[in-house]
Chains A and B, each alone.
Chain A
Amino acid sequence: MASQVIIGISKLSHTYPGTRKSPPKEALKKISLDINAGEMVAFLGPNGSGKSTLLSILTTSLRPTCGSVRIGDFDLVRNPHAARRNLGVVFQNPALDAKMKVSENLKASGLLYGIPRKQLKHRIESILREMDLCEWRDAAVETLSGGLARRVELAKALLPLPRLLILDEPTSGLDPVARQEFWGTIESLRSRNSLTVLVSTHLLDEAEGCDRVAILDRGNLLAFDRPGRLQCQVGSEVLSIEGDDLENLRDELREFLHLEGQLVDSALRLTLPDSISLDELRKRFKNRFKKLTLSHPSLDDVFVHFTGKHLSSEEQF
């Protein structure tokens, strides 16, 4: 079934201008991808991968150096003002006024989005009910817990009935229970409305729950597919070997068994083909392994497959 494309990104590049002390930094390199209506897409990448730059462009906070982005019928680069009406954004940092009440924050945001006053009151009531926030209506935001404040952020973003919801590291700073609650709320929202959601994250379990994952590294889009299909690209099973002299072991595996391994952190990782069994490997390289781990590929393995490094170990710029 052909789905309607809601976001069309074409050859999008951005370079931050250099200063006297630092050279220009190419943060995005000709990225192209289409996102369908109703999809939830994760942008997965470490710091400096370009995902924050991409999100800044999609939220109209940053004008790209070149390329185009269409949101619905609007060209986001040429007409950011019109595109903004279709966007609901939850930023990584709280965008609420802590001194104001929950209802006041929602009212102010609704008016900024041009919702007529008569409709606004009804809309606020409805979103407070939907997000289970009625009892906090008159509470100042500064008195709310982190999880509740995030829910208010979400309510604020959804108030103008956006076609597209953008979540920038939405659960950073939340405890595991609040994180789970947040994603539960997103899931129930998606089941009731056909909402398109874009999430920037560096958390693998959050990305695994999305319909498609875009893997970014150093400004390049390395892969864009369903999590399951990305994992299939790596292989059916991933072997992780820990031990001494792994470099020699890697060379021997290449020479004798034609197995291409990657040294990542302090382990040698490789995909095991069906033709070679684990027992055979153990017999051949007896006493060379301290620890062997065989597992189904995770998104981290996908990331390692494309970049040669773990997502969590990468800190650039």
Chain B
Amino acid sequence: MNGVVVLCRRELVRFLRQPTRLVGSLAQPLLFWLFMGSGFSFSFNAFSTEITYLQYFYPGIVLMLLLFAAIFSTITLIEDRTAGFLQGVLVAPISRLSMVLGKLLGGTFIALIQACIFLFFAPFAGIELALGRAINLLFLFFLVGLGFTGLGFIIAWVVDSTAGYHAIMSVVLIPLWLLSGALFPPEDSAAWLHWVIAFNPVSYGMTAIRYAFYEPLSSLAVNPDFLFALLIALIWTTCTTVGSVLIVSRRPGG
């Protein structure tokens, strides 16, 4: 248990000691939201009169924030390996499970901190943040954040350079976000895209977060779409977490 706390704490300390990382991780989604939200507003409003694109895109940008937080925290795994810090952890008398959980939880808490700060912009997207909704959202952010961090961990463990990680980020991780319903409603897209989105596990995290933003808490418990999305998100996060532990245990010396 000590190992989990020590490694998780290290992630947070490193994050807080690099102010540019904190500013960058918040400024990027904010600028994306404002520029793209305003830019697509007119075309989007032609299809939907219920909400503006800025409102629609807000949960999507939170998902992007969670994704990038996971990317930036798991890419440090490659740095740790190159710089040697990981060697020291691997010869310490802690289990591989503690090592993985420390890294994953550290990355997830960083994502959670960023997402919490971003929640202050929710009123500008026409979302009222009551306590119950905020707590529910934090749970979902944790769940989806952990899923992304687990996926990032697996990639970082397999790939041996940051350049390789960036390549996978561009062709795998960012498309997972693009095709999750974060940018455009799946129901209005082409049929093939519809299928891709349906098979993308990240779409279900997106759907759950979107419902949690817009629907009252009382109706979520009886909303089958939300509950199904939550279930798939849970399964996905479990898979990436277990996958991270397995891939590390495969390493000789375990």
The residues of B that contact A63 with a CB separation of less than 8 Å are: 252-254
Contacting pair A94 B84 (CB below 8 A): yes
17 contacts between A and B (CB under 8 A): A59-B91, A60-B91, A61-B87, A62-B252, A63-B253, A81-B93, A89-B88, A91-B84, A92-B84, A95-B87, A97-B14, A99-B18, A108-B9, A112-B93, A113-B93, A114-B93, A156-B88
Contacting pair A81 B18 (CB below 8 A): no
Interface string of A72-99 (1 = CB under 8 A from B): 0000000011101101010111111111
Contacting pair A80 B17 (CB below 8 A): no
Residue of B nearest to A83 (CB): B93
Interface residue range, chain A: 20 to 34
A156 to B83, CA, bound (A): 16
Interface string of B73-98 (1 = CB under 8 A from A): 00000000011110111111111000
Q: Determine whether B235 belongs to the interface, using a CB cutoff of 8 Å to chain A.
A: no
Q: Determine whether A204 belongs to the interface, using a CB cutoff of 8 Å to chain B.
A: no
A61 to B96, CA, bound (A): 12
Contacting pair A100 B10 (CB below 8 A): yes
Q: Which single member of B2, B17, B87 contacts A112 (CB below 8 Å)? A: B2
The residues of A that contact B27 with a CB separation of less than 8 Å are: none
Q: Determine whether B152 belongs to the interface, using a CB cutoff of 8 Å to chain A.
A: no
Q: Determine whether B196 belongs to the interface, using a CB cutoff of 8 Å to chain A.
A: no
The residues of B that contact A99 with a CB separation of less than 8 Å are: 13-14, 17-18
> Interface residues, chain B, CB within 8 Å of chain A?
2-3, 5-6, 9-10, 13-14, 17-18, 82-85, 87-95, 252-254
The residues of B that contact A95 with a CB separation of less than 8 Å are: 84-85, 87-88
The residues of B that contact A281 with a CB separation of less than 8 Å are: none
Q: Taking chain B's interface residues, is the majority helix, strand, or loop, or is none over half, making it mixed?
A: helix
User: Do A104 and B13 contact each other (CB < 8 Å), given the known contacts A61-B253, A113-B92, A114-B93?
Assistant: yes
For the A-B complex with A63-B253, A112-B6 known, give 19 more contacts whose Cβ atoms are closer than 8 Å: A61-B253, A63-B254, A91-B84, A91-B88, A93-B83, A93-B87, A94-B83, A94-B84, A94-B85, A95-B84, A97-B85, A98-B83, A99-B13, A99-B17, A100-B13, A108-B6, A112-B3, A112-B93, A114-B2
A273 to B18, CA, bound (A): 68
A91 to B83, CA, bound (A): 11
Q: Determine whether A15 belongs to the interface, using a CB cutoff of 8 Å to chain B.
A: no
Contacting pair A111 B253 (CB below 8 A): no
Q: Determine whether A109 belongs to the interface, using a CB cutoff of 8 Å to chain B.
A: yes
Q: How many Cβ-Cβ contacts under 8 Å join chain A to chain B?
A: 78
Closest CB in chain A relative to B111 CB, distance in Å:
19
User: Do A89 and B13 contact each other (CB < 8 Å), given the known contacts A61-B253, A63-B253, A112-B2?
Assistant: no
Closest CB in chain A relative to B93 CB, distance in Å:
4
The residues of B that contact A111 with a CB separation of less than 8 Å are: 2-3, 5-6
A85 to B92, CA, bound (A): 7
A91 to B17, CA, bound (A): 26
A300 to B6, CA, bound (A): 45
The residues of B that contact A89 with a CB separation of less than 8 Å are: 87-88, 91
Contacting pair A84 B91 (CB below 8 A): yes
Q: Which single member of B84, B89, B254 contacts A80 (CB below 8 Å)? A: B254
Q: Which of A80, A93, A100, A113 has the most CB of B within 10 A?
A: A93
Closest CB in chain A relative to B249 CB, distance in Å:
12
Q: Which single member of A59, A93, A104, A114 contacts B84 (CB below 8 Å)? A: A93
Q: Which single member of B87, B89, B91 contacts A87 (CB below 8 Å)? A: B91
| 5 closest residue pairs by CB, A with B | A93-B84, A95-B88, A63-B252, A112-B92, A84-B93
Closest CB in chain B relative to A280 CB, distance in Å:
56
